[in-house]
Amino acid sequence: MTETLLEFFKAMAHESRLRLVGLLAQREWSVQELAAALDLKEPTVSHHLAMLKAQGLVTVRAEGTTRWHALDRDALERLSKRVLQQSPAQTAAKAAPEDWDAKVLRGFVAADGTLKSIPASRKKRGAVLRWLMRDFEADRRYPEARVNDLIQAHHWDSAMLRRELVGHHMLARKDRVYWRLPEKEWKAGGEA
Amino acid sequence: MTETLLEFFKAMAHESRLRLVGLLAQREWSVQELAAALDLKEPTVSHHLAMLKAQGLVTVRAEGTTRWHALDRDALERLSKRVLQQSPAQTAAKAAPEDWDAKVLRGFVAADGTLKSIPASRKKRGAVLRWLMRDFEADRRYPEARVNDLIQAHHWDSAMLRRELVGHHMLARKDRVYWRLPEKEWKAGGEA
DNA sequence: CTTGAAATTCGACATCCATCTAATTAGACA
DNA sequence: TGTCTAATTAGATGGATGTCGAATTTCAAG
């Protein structure tokens, strides 16, 4: 659904859309009604609705040529909660990795499996990234949204960590689809 | 602190600032450090920090010419909660107004003093607006932020209701400062 | 008072995006 | 099938704002 927190904030960060959410929270509306209520043209309303739909915030019900839009309250609550906790922590801490990595992880990984922070040093960051890779199976394709979801189980800034995983040659990327690279590429930890 | 939800969303709806919040959540940072970490120039970081400060999200501690910035976690939590509930409902429903207004209000005001929705008809909206005016004393000046706070106790869309109050000649406005207009201007309810 | 370092403010430029009109699609009904 | 209505998509334009270099401010230390 929502790929990143950023997308959610962007979706809400405009007066027209925020107002739109307010209206949609009250009852079902057609595009025409919304355009009238907001004093906007229909294409503009369609445009905003599309963004909200992309976040899964709006449900649509067709009736003839009219489309009735309403707020998906559950989705809004789900998203808001993510804002609140900044990290879902779905995955409780799993089995421990080896020796040096283990020591590093002890410092950065909380008991619930979330990252307390991202190490500034490239070496330690490597340990964290290797640890994140446990969530990715070999020979499997992961769309970018899925990658973000998996990472957000541990840290809100999935965009940064996703880039780091690619930068460290743990994940490869093409056309917004990712896959795991062979472990020998990075498991030892050949750093510059 | 934060005037409107919209301002909060806008503050968070940019990658640089969201990243910034992530860093500030970890420890104290100087502007230089942040600029390096984000790969931005210092003026840019200052600019973003100013916006976050305007939302009360960032605290600053001066040490010589260096200024150490950190995230105000309480503020973030407070704001996030507002996102969740969309309406603070600080003011429980008070004494009831008169006759017709009372009937209208029964339909639109929840037990906790929040507006369930804003009436579409101008006449009924008038009743709701008159009811909102109970929060404003005569001969007193209200900066816009304060007006928003008072309104948000009842409904998240303070901008719309604020405009309506002005449009219905209940509040006057000059230079982002508001004050209550004499009741005879609107109490009877002379509508076009 | 001067010098140097850190940060902010100012002004310019570039990019993003909200909005519009016009054109197109999708559905209902004859 | 043709037409009417609702909605979306496409393309263009204007306004908002993120970013930067340069100038200014603030503070500490000689």
- For the stretch B77-133, pLDDT in tens is 777 766 655 432 222 222 333 446 666 777 777 655 678 788 877 778 888 888 888
Q: Which of A178, A97, A98 is nearest to A138 (CA)?
A: A178
Q: Which of B175, B147, B172 is nearest to B161 (CA)?
A: B147
Residue of A nearest to B9 (CA): A13
pLDDT at B147 > cutoff 80: yes
Interface with A, mutate which of B19, B84, B152 (most A CBs under 10 A) = B84
**Chain A contact residues (CB < 8 Å to B):** 5-6, 9-10, 12-15, 18-19, 22, 25-27, 37, 77, 80-81, 83-84, 86, 116-118, 120, 156-157, 159-160
Mean pLDDT of B8-17: 93
Contact partners, residue A46, CB within 8 Å, separation at least 6: A31
CA of A143 to C1' of C7 (A): 42
* B152, containing H or E segment: helix B144-152
Distance between CA atoms of A57 and B60, rounded to whole angstroms? 36
Strand D nucleotides, any atom under 7 Å to a protein CB: 5-11, 17-22, 26-29
> pLDDT tens digits, residue range A68-104?
999 987 787 777 766 655 432 222 222 333 446 666 7
Residue of B nearest to A161 (CA): B19
Share of chain B above pLDDT 90, in %: 18
Closest approach of chain A CAs to the CA of B82, in angstroms?
A: 9
Measured on CA atoms in the order A125, A86, A23, A62, is the torsion positive or negative?
positive
pLDDT at B188 > cutoff 60: no
pLDDT at B87: 31
Q: Which nucleotide is nearest to B31 (CA to C1')?
A: C7
Residue with tokens 């995983």: A165
Total-model pTM: 0.56
pLDDT band at B43 (very low <50, low <70, confident <90, very high): very high
Contact status, residue B40 vs residue B22, Cβ threshold 8 Å: no
- Using a CB-CB cut-off of 8 Å, the residues of chain A touching B14 are 6
Tell me which of A120 and B48 has the higher pLDDT.
B48
In the predicted model, residues of chain A with pLDDT beneath 50 are: 1-2, 86-99, 189-192
Residue A131 identity: W
pLDDT at B88: 26
Interface with A, mutate which of B2, B7, B10, B21 (most A CBs under 10 A) = B10
Tell me how far CA of residue A40 lies from CA of A17, A43, A48, B4, in angstroms. Answer: 11, 8, 11, 22
pLDDT band at B14 (very low <50, low <70, confident <90, very high): very high
pLDDT band at B137 (very low <50, low <70, confident <90, very high): confident
CB contact under 8 A, A9 and B12: yes
Mean pLDDT of B26-38: 87
Q: Which nucleotide is nearest to A66 (CA to C1')?
A: D6
pLDDT at B51 > cutoff 90: yes
Q: Which of B45, B49, B40, B17 is nearest to A157 (CA)?
A: B17
- Using a CB-CB cut-off of 8 Å, the residues of chain A touching B29 are none
